[in-house]
Amino acid sequence: MNRWMFGILLACLIGIQSTSVADTVEPDNVLTKTVPVLTISGAIGPAVGDYLIQEIARANLQANTPAIIITIDTPGGLITSLRDINQQILASNIPVLCLVYPQGARAASAGTFILYACHIAAMAPATTLGAATPVSIGGAPGEDKQQEKSDKPSAMENKILNDSVAYIRSLAQLRGRNIEWAEKAVREAATLSSDEALELNVINLITDTPASLLERLDGESVVVQKQARVLSLAGAALEPRKPDWRNQFLATITDPNIAYILMIIGIYGLLLEFYSPSFGIAGIIGAISLLIALYAFQLLPVNYVGIGLMLLGVALLVAESMIPSFGLFGFGGIIAFVLGSVFLIDSDLPELRISLNLIIAIAVVSAVFVVFVLGRLMKLRKQQIVSGIEAMIGTEAVVTESFATTGFVQIEGERWAAVCDQPLQKGETVTVHGVDGLTLRVIKKPGSKQDD
């Protein structure tokens, strides 16, 4: 009995000790602070926007996340993606710290708007920002345009410009940063180095890395959702968060060059299936590729005039393969196809345009494919397919018994009556010249020898 009581007492002591150990360990785990590090590298498009929006929303749902860091190195991007990202930043209950990083990076165009939207704006040494003029008005920064333009902007250009100015001014007012320079960055495509930006109150500080950014900001006060908050960043661990497979797939298909190639594969896959029916591999690949391309294009700034010119070009090339026009349809189709490809993506950013070398290569391959491959398939389809007795004309037969004018021949294992204008010997080979009812008209094949 004493042994049983001792065992129960010992088990209780062990349970109490385990509970106390768990109680001492659990708070340390709970209090571990992590700061997600998100990265903008390259042009800002649908994939980047989806990635940032998801990760910022995810961080807002996690406990013990004192801040979010976004590192920026971008030439700009799509205004739709930019506004979606900024809406998520402005709605965040966690401070978003932006850093133009690494050294030599830039926050141009859309990157400047994101930097202004963040609660804290920082830059690494030897980085730049600015040039935020809408590219549809001012063109890409540094681009030498030889074409003559009116000194007075059009009404639509004024609307776009004034909307962008008002947008960046509102962000500057919200974050207490230089409003005059923000407007200058949009109207005049002004740029600044990191030192100049700090001096003009465009950014809050200059720092080398995300880790040093946390050290510099620990204990600093920041306004989040109109409430002052002291940043507690001591001991926080940086957690780089990369795009997941969905974001990577979206980034791949929304690359203008990839989307363009998918569209070409889709068009010609379906054309090949149409010319050679029996829903096979060409039709399946073509349908899938075209649907993916259409999904990508609805996320990109597509010019529908470009799509129309491309379809016209394909139609003319197909017409050339069906109705020879001495190259008129063919050359017209190539010109329309190339022009449509150039106009397809409505953006002045090189990262969001289709490569001219790719366009030329696809145009040449398309011309060869349509004129020769589809032309050959059309000829095969136009050939008359005969069956039954008519199919025997031109085939060879063997004389079964010698005869002068009328006798019998064997053709494809069948015995047929035959007539000939000259005597034939057993075993000679003849060619079917015509059919009269159930009698074959045959002629002797030159060089034919009879059986011994």
Which one, of 78, 53, 106, lies nearest residue 254 by Cα? 78
Supply the pLDDT for residue 145.
43
Supply the pLDDT for residue 351.
75
Supply the pLDDT for residue 97.
97
Supply the pLDDT for residue 373.
67
Which residue ranges in the chain fall short of pLDDT 70?
1-31, 135-153, 275-279, 321-322, 324-327, 370, 373-391, 447-452
Supply the pLDDT for residue 404.
86
Tens digits of residue pLDDT in 24-67: 333 444 458 899 999 999 899 999 999 999 999 999 998 889 99
Supply the pLDDT for residue 18.
44
Supply the pLDDT for residue 138.
39
> What does the alpha-carbon distance between residue 51 and residue 423 come to, in Å, rounded to a whole number?
88
Supply the pLDDT for residue 374.
62
- Chain centroid to Cα 358, Å, comes to 15
Q: Which two tokens stand for residue 177?
A: 């940063």
> What does the alpha-carbon distance between residue 363 and residue 336 come to, in Å, rounded to a whole number?
10
Supply the pLDDT for residue 148.
43
> What does the alpha-carbon distance between residue 231 and residue 330 come to, in Å, rounded to a whole number?
67
Phi (first) and psi of residue 290, to 5 degrees: -65, -40
Q: Could you tell me which residues are beta bridge partners of residue 397?
A: 430
